[in-house]
Amino acid sequence: MTVSSINKILIANRGEIARRIMRTCREMGIATVAVCSNPDRDAPFVKEADEAVPLGGTHPSESYLRIDAIVDAARKTSSDAIHPGYGFLAENAAFARACQESGIGFVGPSAEVIAAMGSKIEAKRRMQIADVPLLPSVEVGNQPADQVLRQAEPFGWPLLIKASAGGGGRGMRIVRQAAEFASLIETARRESQAAFGDAAVFVEPYVEAARHIEIQIFGDTHGNVVHLFERECSIQRRHQKIIEESPSMALDDALRRAMTSAAVRAAKEIGYVNAGTVEFLLTPDGKFYFLEVNTRLQVEHPVTECVTGLDLVRLQILVAAGEPLPAEVHELAMHGHAIEARLYAEDPRQDYLPSAGRLHRFRLPAAAGIRVESAVGESAVISPYYDPMLAKVIVHAPTRVEAARRLRHALARAQIHGLSTNRELLVRTLEHPDFLRGQIDTRFLERHDPAALAAPLGDDHAERLHAAAAALASQAARRREAKVLDKIPSGWRNNPSQFQQTRFLGHGGEIAIEYRFQREGLQLRIDGHEQPHVRCEVATPAQIQMHMAGIQRTFAVHCVGNTFYVDSPLGSSALVEIPRFPVPQDETAAGSLVAPLPGVVNEVRVKKGDTVSAGDVLLVIDSMKVFHWISAPLSGRIAELRVEAGNHVDGGTVLAVIEEF
């Protein structure tokens, strides 16, 4: 296969990575084909493709994990090659083999390499041959837990149980005491089996305060293997990266040479072709140990592109076509500093509970040096069936401090309405003194309370000003809809009148706004306190510009139903207008156990009539590839059981009712 013979590529993925691959394909003059599930039929990546093939279904097993359906879609559309992106089938050896057997190019390494590196246990064996530093480990296999523990205890505490297949923190558990070892091994096995179809796990020492450093590698079919420097990925939640950067502050020239040389040795040992990553743990004393080889493009590849000037997807396609790596990859230098932040639809204040539902607005400021790779458009419905990442925001600047500052500013000024996200946590991490000093490791979000980092960016004062802006925007909307005298200014009265009143519920509680327009200007009270020297220069349903205490500010207002989303230089607020005459709502029956989020019921551990104790796990819900254990809030008897395994549920759905003793 040559570059000229690749005229059409099917992308076996979704969301932002599908859009990212399509962008390079368009630049190379290559047509693209999307495949999609039912929830994704109207997604941006589908609309941007030249052709699309619906796979049907909702769960990944019914769509993006169907090897036969994807290969058939490539045949039907006469695609020359398939790009797997990352996740789903990207590291599935059977998929790479199916492409090869069908005569369809696969943009990635060989099936044999994927299979070898897909098992972390096998990968460790191969790395030992390549003289790559390794942590000691014990394969669990069919051994009893107590026997495994006897072999692992000499490593010292704590220990780490890891799934041999897959990654992303699934099938991984930290063990800090012997009493919990057996139960955590079983939990890791079950999670690994559910996520990867493979229950194999192993045990190794858990390195405290380690940094996560990965080396980007590239090989071609002509025997060339190179590294494209490092990325630091130490800021993680649930063992999943959320902030990545290049270069790493932890590496000097000697350590960089040692780690990149080890990565190249690893790649040569396994005959690596195409893009991949060799991942290492770096200890506080400067020692590094092999973690795994990711046989695909990484989520965080844009930071490498920023500091090297390369297009890694273009290199992937060239290598897949049999071309040698171009000369520029052999003469690379890093320029400036790049940082990427992953925006997730999740609530860090509730243990990173995924958010699913309607995203009413998603806007990030455009500026030089800021790159946004988004899975969604201006608005979208976020499905519970897939990873909750909304976008990656990447900044490239001359220095690390400037990159962090610009990325923080871009995230803080984003308008993200309708769902909880990790935006606030990202902003506060980027401005944290420890982060700016480079004092980071994989436990950063354990040392610094995620709930505090994820608190609203604006303080109570900001929220009150936002409530005033929301009240004025609401008045402007009513004025715009008026059938008579629609030309007079909003809120204007010919004669003095009483204050107009609006109440909102915000993060800090209830806020009362009173205002009236007079000839000399706006009279405004917030929670009964008169605000001096207020002028409203602009009042529209979408924008309020006010002078207060000698400062002019512009507030962007977006109303959805009775919720007002307000963004300003002071931060962002979501304010619910309190109706003057509330309508009584039906109450949920006492003892009801409700779903905390949308998802699929993975397991039901009780039946109607069973006796349960407070804290007992009754059901397990799978949402966005994460298991959520639903426990009994009180002791009693299961009076009603309204779901069974396999049911799809919305957030707030009553799952069971417990009759208290």
> In CATH, what number is assigned to the domain containing residue 273?
3.30.470.20
Q: Tell whether 585 is covered by a domain.
A: no
pLDDT computed for residue 519 by the predictor? 75
Residue 237: phi and psi, rounded to 5, are -130, 135
Query: What whole-number distance in Å separates Cα of residue 84 and Cα of residue 18?
Result: 9
Residue 258: phi and psi, rounded to 5, are -65, -45
429 and 382 fall within a common domain: yes
519 and 632 fall within a common domain: no
pLDDT computed for residue 600 by the predictor? 81
Beta strands in 24-182 (DSSP E): 31-36, 51-54, 81-83, 105-106, 138-139, 159-163, 173-175
Read off the pLDDT of residues 470-486 as tens digits, 9 standing for 90 and up. 999 999 998 887 655 55
- Nearest Cα neighbor of 243 from 24, 451, 400 is 400
Can you tell me whether residue 448 is helix, strand or coil? Answer: coil
pLDDT computed for residue 631 by the predictor? 87
pLDDT computed for residue 595 by the predictor? 85
Q: Tell whether 605 is covered by a domain.
A: yes
Which segments in the chain show pLDDT lower than 70? Answer: 1-3, 166, 168, 482-497, 581-589, 624-626
174 and 226 fall within a common domain: no
pLDDT computed for residue 621 by the predictor? 86
Name the one residue in this structure whose structure tokens are 């394909």. 25
Q: Tell whether 586 is covered by a domain.
A: no
643 and 498 fall within a common domain: no
Query: What whole-number distance in Å separates Cα of residue 372 and Cα of residue 362?
Result: 12
- How large is the angle between the packed helices 93-101 and 111-118, nearest 10 degrees? 170
**Over pLDDT 90: what percentage of the chain?**
76
Q: What is the average pLDDT value for the chain, to the nearest integer?
A: 92
Q: What is the CATH number of the domain that holds 644?
A: 2.40.50.100
99 and 27 fall within a common domain: yes
Q: Tell whether 26 is covered by a domain.
A: yes
Q: What is the CATH number of the domain that holds 509?
A: 3.30.700.30
Specify whether 296 is catalytic. Answer: yes
413 and 339 fall within a common domain: yes
- Nearest Cα neighbor of 506 from 555, 542, 459 is 459
319 and 429 fall within a common domain: yes
Read off the pLDDT of residues 542-553 as tens digits, 9 standing for 90 and up. 999 999 988 999
Catalytic residue chosen out of the listed positions 296, 342, 406, 464:
296
pLDDT computed for residue 582 by the predictor? 58
10 and 40 fall within a common domain: yes
Query: What whole-number distance in Å separates Cα of residue 252 and Cα of residue 164?
Result: 32
pLDDT computed for residue 494 by the predictor? 57
Return left, alpha or beta for 281; rule: phi > 0 is left, psi -120 to 50 is alpha, else beta. beta
DSSP for 503-566, please give it: EEEETTEEEEEEEEEETTEEEEEETTEEESSEEEEEE-SSEEEEEETTEEEEEEEEEETTEEEE
Query: What whole-number distance in Å separates Cα of residue 202 and Cα of residue 338?
Result: 35
222 and 351 fall within a common domain: yes
Q: Which domain holds residue 646?
A: 592-660
437 and 483 fall within a common domain: no
363 and 335 fall within a common domain: yes
Q: Give the pair of three-digit tokens for residue 215.
A: 């080396």
Query: What whole-number distance in Å separates Cα of residue 214 and Cα of residue 290?
Result: 10
Query: What whole-number distance in Å separates Cα of residue 631 and Cα of residue 593?
Result: 8
- Nearest Cα neighbor of 387 from 279, 241, 276, 280 is 241
Return left, alpha or beta for 586; rule: phi > 0 is left, psi -120 to 50 is alpha, else beta. beta
| Strands of the 509-518 sheet, one edge to the other | 529-531, 521-526, 509-518, 500-506, 571-577, 563-568, 551-560, 543-548, 534-539
pLDDT computed for residue 194 by the predictor? 79
- Which of the listed residues 185, 205, 225 is the one where a domain comes to its end? 205
How many domains does the chain fold into?
A: 5
Q: Tell whether 296 is covered by a domain.
A: yes
287 and 399 fall within a common domain: yes
Query: What whole-number distance in Å separates Cα of residue 587 and Cα of residue 59?
Result: 32
Read off the pLDDT of residues 596-616 as tens digits, 9 standing for 90 and up. 777 788 889 999 999 998 888
Q: Give the pair of three-digit tokens for residue 428.
A: 């506060």
Query: What whole-number distance in Å separates Cα of residue 262 and Cα of residue 60?
Result: 36
Query: What whole-number distance in Å separates Cα of residue 480 and Cα of residue 484?
Result: 10
Question: From the CB of residue 485, how many other CB atoms can be counted at a distance below 10 Å?
Answer: 8
pLDDT computed for residue 624 by the predictor? 56
Q: Tell whether 385 is covered by a domain.
A: yes
- Which of the listed residues 420, 435, 453 is the one where a domain comes to its end? 453
Q: Tell whether 445 is covered by a domain.
A: yes
Q: Give the pair of three-digit tokens for residue 348.
A: 């860090």
Q: Tell whether 144 is covered by a domain.
A: yes
- Which of the listed residues 406, 424, 453 is the one where a domain comes to its end? 453
